Structures are given as structure tokens and as C-alpha cells.
Chains A and B, each alone.
Chain A
Amino acid sequence: MATINEKISEEIRAQARKLLEAKEVEAFLGYCQGSLPMTARPFVARTPEDTDKLVWNSFCVLNLANYLPALLKSLEPPRGPRDPAPEGPLPRAAILATGCWSRNIVIQIQENQVDRDRVVICGIASRGMVAQAKVKELFAGREILKVVEEDHKLLVSGKGFSEEINRWSVIRNNCLTCIHPDPVMFDVRIGEEGGQRKSDNRFADVEEIENKSAAQRRQWFEEEFASCIRCYACRNACPLCYCPTCFVDDAKPQWVGKSVDQVDTSIFHILRAYHCAGRCTDCGSCESVCPMGINMRILTKKLTSDVLNLYGSEAGLALDSPLPLTTFKQEDPQDFIITEQPADKGGE
């Protein structure tokens, strides 16, 4: 019997073939099988024949929205920076989108990086993606050569061993606390509708750190980010990072040093997280691609939790609700402003 993911893969291929054959889209952005166990590779199908390579499994950890603005740009006929836009509708692209990816597409549309009319969103309810690092940790010291996925378990095998593990036990942390697995916006649905998921306290890990003393938090931060090698994989995997020149590449002024000095690394991570404030959808790409296993998602999650507490909104849930930092209310809290603290104003 076919597993859920096999059925979804079939549907994806059929849908992609249909769209490409009807010339509705020029490209279909999905996933193909990776070359190593537990990997899937982002893949652009451009002809109906290409669509046979498309797959869907629990290892699609990269956020496909990351590739969307550049893909759409590449489909446009070439023109110089001052040439007028070509007449008539521009070529379109289709993209697979789970809950968080679709929210990122909403954000890209709101930030004018993507034209809604040029994308066909194929929504899939996410069942949570597997954290490769968690599986590798379970099989520390043994080389995993093959992983076969079933609905609720993974069959992991290598030289001289073959074991079965529970799929949910190795799901990524951000998927464990996700409450929006279902796409918020889509043109075509693939697979079955995903119900609303609940999480008792999705900010538990943030609160754990908030409850520490300042000295402990400082120590935690320095230890957590000490191993960073500044490869910028977290930035490259992030669908929010589309600036033509990133602040880390600026030379004049140089906001952040190029070394792996603890100070440079701290500034990089503070600013990287801050640039995602009110925009991050907790898709977990940054964490999944980190070669050092740094939990940098906690910083963006802290910002998400603050935005929710202070301004009561979350990014990318609907096209017509503005991003939290592009709007304001007159009565926004301002108790951190020193001139607004009555106690500190002395006799006034």
C-alpha cells in the first residue's frame, strides 16, 4: 500500500505535468530525491518529462519560498535596469507550499518581491519534517546508508544494522510546536486538508531562557553561538533574506567584522535575527542547514513571541494584514522609554 507521502508525490507529479503541459506555468518548483540518505533537493521542473523526478517526503527541510523571487526573475525576458517592463503577462511559476512556506510567500507578496498573479501555489498540509541531526544522533558512530520512510516510522539501515524508529520522535523542533501546518493561501490543494494543530506552550523554550538571570543568559548566548563558523548558511536558506547586499557584506561601513571572533559572531546573530523580526514564520530552514547545529531559531522565536505579546499579530497569516513592523498603533506599549517611566522622573 502506498504511504501518504507516496500518494502526495503522485499528486504533485500529476499536477506539475498538467500545469506544464497546459503552459500555465513555465516552471514548477518542488523537490527531487537527494543523493544522500535523508536528503531532498529543491528542484525546478521545466518540462513535463522533468516532473517524473518530483518527490515529497519528510526530508524537505528547505523553505522553497527562498527560491521563488529569483526564479520568477529568471523567467522574465532579459532586459536592462532602465528598460520598460515587457508588455503582456509575464511567465508564471508554480510552487509547493506547506503552512510556513505559504506564509513566507504571503510576506514576499506583501514586500513586493513576488507578484501574486505570477505564482500558482500548490498547498500541502505539512506533517512535520524530520531533523537529520536527530536521527544521526540516535545512530552516533554508525553510518546510515539508507532510510525508508513509512507513515509513522523510519526504517534506518546501514552496514550491519537495520532499525525502526518512530517518525515523530525525530521531527524538527519547530515542527513540534507548529500550529499552522496547513497552507494559509493556495490555488491548488495537494493531499488532504491538515487540521488545526495545537501546542500547549509553543514558546516554552524561549521562556526557559527568559527566566534565567542576566549573567546566565549571557553565558548561554556565548556558549550557544561559540561554534559558529560564519558560513552564512542560515542567511542563505532564509526566504526573508533577499537584500541585494546583505549587511554582513557591506564594507563601508562595515557593520560586522569578518572573523569568527565571539563579538563579530554575536553581532551577526543579533542582526540576522533582528532583520527577521515580525517576519519570521519559524520554518526552521536556518536551523536545518546549520553545519554546527546551532539553535539560532531561538532568537527569531523570541522576537515572534514579543511581537505576539506586544502587538498581537503574527506574520504572513493573511495578505490583508500588514506586517507588524510596517504598521503601528498610537497606544503601542512604551514602558521601555526612559522618559515615560514615572518612577525615574524624580520630583516631576
Chain B
Amino acid sequence: MEPKKNWEPKIIAFLCTWCSYAGADLAGVSRFQYPPNIRIVKVPCSGRISPNLILNALNNGADGVLVSGCHPGDCHYISGNYFARRRFALFDNLLEFIGIEPGRVNFSWISASEGEQFAEVVKEVTAKVKKLGPATRLVKKINEAA
């Protein structure tokens, strides 16, 4: 399917409340510009993210997903992001294995002081997803017709 002319991707960003969400806040307060394509969902910890949530986002029409948490060692709950990291690594590989384009689902670490980096990551992810075009793999065709 050819992307529409003025198509803009929708990207769901799952941000952990302690670091990445605060980082996004800082980006706003500091007035760093970043593309308005992301829709933020605040979660308690990156360890909260289950693949169900990521697939559900794609299934319901997101073109890309960004999951972001605290840097390893900085987790508010001490080790949530370490467990998450193992899970994400396996999930990322599994998606690649079944031929989902790399870049649809992205993982990052952003701390509360990294407002500028947050803006950079959003720019990078948006550019990547824009290049990939609308997500069609995990979207039911029936939705498209409706």
C-alpha cells in the first residue's frame, strides 16, 4: 500500500514514570522541538511492559512503538529495567525472526535529565517509522475496510 501524501506516523511511546517521562517533561519545559507524532503512555517502570502491550498498540493502528526506561543501574525499583532488558532483547529478535521490519519497535534508555536526548530519540524514531511507511502487518484487514 502506498502511503498517503500527507501521511504522518502514529507512534506509541511507553515511558517509565521515573526517568523517561520526566525526560519528556524536561524536553517540553526546555522547549526542545520534536515531532508531534508520539502519543505518550506513562507506565510505572519499563519492567511493566509486556509484549502484549506492544503488539496491541500495533494491532490497534500504531505505526511504531517506542519503549523507554531508566538507564541500567538507575531504575527506581532497582532492577526492573534489567529484567526488562532481557525480555526486550528476546522480543526484538523474535519480531525480526518473523520478518517484522526492524525499526517498528524501538527500545531506549533516557534519564530524567536527558531532555535533549529525548527529543533526539523521538526525531530518530519518527524518521525511521516514516521511512518504513504505515504498519500493515499486525493490523486486521477488516479494520481497514471500515
**Cβ–Cβ < 8 Å partners of A267 in chain B:** 55, 59, 138
What distance in Å separates the Cβ of A60 from its nearest Cβ neighbour in chain B? 30
Q: Are B141 and A261 neighbours in the complex by a CB distance under 8 Å?
A: yes
Q: State whether the Cβ of B14 lies closer than 8 Å to any Cβ in chain A.
A: no
A275's nearest neighbour on chain B, judged by CB, is: B51
Q: How many whole Å from A15's CB to the nearest CB in chain B?
A: 40
> Which residues on A sit within 8 Å (CB–CB) of B92?
336
Chain A residues contacting B138 (CB-CB under 8 Å) are 263, 266-267
- Interface residues contributed by chain B, number (CB under 8 Å): 44
Interface centre among B86, B94, B95 (most CB of A within 10 A): B86
Structural contact, B94 and A274, CB atoms closer than 8 A: yes
Per-position contact with A for B81-116: 1 when CB-CB < 8 Å, else 0?
A: 011011111111111111111100011111000000
Interface status of A340 (Cβ within 8 A of chain B): yes
- In the complex, 29 of the A-B residue pairs with CB atoms within 8 angstroms, ordered by the A residue number, are A209-B97, A217-B98, A217-B99, A218-B100, A247-B52, A253-B56, A255-B56, A263-B137, A263-B140, A274-B90, A274-B91, A274-B94, A299-B94, A299-B98, A303-B94, A306-B93, A307-B90, A310-B90, A325-B87, A328-B79, A328-B83, A328-B86, A330-B73, A330-B82, A332-B85, A336-B93, A336-B107, A338-B125, A339-B110
B77 CB → nearest A CB, Å: 13
Binding site for A on B (CB under 8 A): 51-52, 55-56, 59, 72-73, 79, 82-83, 85-102, 106-110, 117, 120-121, 124-125, 137-142
Q: Which residues of A contact B142 (CB under 8 A)?
A: 261
- A273: which B residues are within 8 A, CB to CB? 94
Residues A270 and B79 in contact, CB atoms below 8 Å apart? no
User: A262 to B6, alpha carbons, bound, how many Å?
Assistant: 29
**In the assembled complex, A215 has its CB within 8 A of some CB on chain B:** yes
A219→B99 contact, CB < 8 A: yes
Instruction: Provide the bound-state CA to CA distance between A257 and B143, in Å.
Output: 12
Cα distance A210–B96 in the bound complex, in angstroms: 9
Total interface residues on A, CB under 8 Å, equals 48
Interface pair A325/B86, CB less than 8 Å apart: yes
Question: A residues near B, CB below 8 A?
Answer: 209-210, 214-221, 247, 253, 255, 257, 261, 263-264, 266-267, 270-271, 273-274, 277-278, 299, 302-303, 306-307, 310-311, 324-326, 328, 330, 332-334, 336-340, 344-346
B51 touches A270 (CB 8 A): yes
Q: Cβ of B72: which chain A residues have Cβ within 8 Å of it?
A: 330, 334
Q: A215-B99, A302-B97, A339-B110 are in contact. Are A255 and B52 (CB under 8 A)?
A: yes
Counting from the closest, the 3 A-B pairs by CB-CB distance are A218-B99, A217-B99, A328-B82
Residue of B nearest to A277 (CB): B90
For A274, the chain B residues whose CB sits under 8 A away are 51, 90-91, 94
CB-based nearest A residue for B83: A328
Assuming the contacts A215-B99, A338-B125, asked whether A302 and B93 have C-beta atoms less than 8 A apart, the reply is yes
Q: A220-B99, A255-B55 are in contact. Are A336 and B88 (CB under 8 A)?
A: yes
Closest residue of B by beta carbon distance from A345: B120
- Having A263-B141, A270-B95, A334-B85, one finds 11 other A-B pairs with CB under 8 Å, namely A209-B97, A215-B99, A217-B99, A255-B55, A263-B137, A271-B52, A303-B94, A328-B79, A330-B72, A330-B82, A336-B89
